Structure formats: structure tokens, C-alpha cells
Amino acid sequence: MAFIPVSRAARLTMESEQDGQILANVFWFQQEPSAGYDASSLADLATKFDAAWTAHIADFQTSDVLWSRIVARAMDSASSPAIEQFMTGAGGHTGDNLPTNVTFAIKWVTGLAGRSFRGRTYT
């Protein structure tokens, strides 16, 4: 598959593990009006994302979900910078867990129509 560049965009993947399975949530960000992401701004994005996830999403995840890392990559070109930041922590929900084939999903919407402007996060 050929690389398709996206101007001023970054792809951030949050990886975690539950019951030996690797879980990945992928998010896309676009800088306005900057020229794009460099390694420093990717690291800043990953740090802010980690803090936001911990503050707003973690309590919805079972404590069996162990966070492992965030991978952020600038998407301007195939040779754009990428960073890897390790996370420590786990979900904050304790008690009975649902089977691993069941998830809580957050639906993201914008004021624009079409699948490019919507998404889901599975916790």
C-alpha cells in the first residue's frame, strides 16, 4: 500500500493490552495554521493525549487494560518524524468485567457529514 500524505496531520496510536490481546485506538490530529508536526510537537501531543486519556477515559476502562505506549507520526511525507512514548497505568474500573469481545464505544461527531468527520473510540 502506498503512503498517502496528509498536510499538517499526525496519526496517534494508543496501544494497550488486555488478556494477552493487543488493543489499539488510532486518532488523527491536524495543526492549524502551523506548517506541520516535528518531533518536539509530536512528543507534546502524546503527553497531552496521555493526560487527557487518564483524566477523561481511564475510569471507563477495566483495570485489566494495561497501557503500553503511544506512537505519534507526522503524515506530511513518508519520511516525516515519528515518536514513541511509553505509558504506565491501567483502566480505573474495578469489579466484574465484560468478556473481551464486548466494549464500551464512544462515538465522535462533528458538524460535518461523512465518515471523514466521525469516528469511534473503543475502551
Look up the pTM and report it.
0.79
Domain ranges of the chain: 9-122
pLDDT of residue 115: 67
pLDDT of residue 55: 92
Residue 36 CA to residue 91 CA, distance in Å, equals 32
Tell me what percent of the residues of the chain surpass a pLDDT of 90: 43
For the stretch 43-64, pLDDT in tens is 999 999 999 999 998 888 888 8
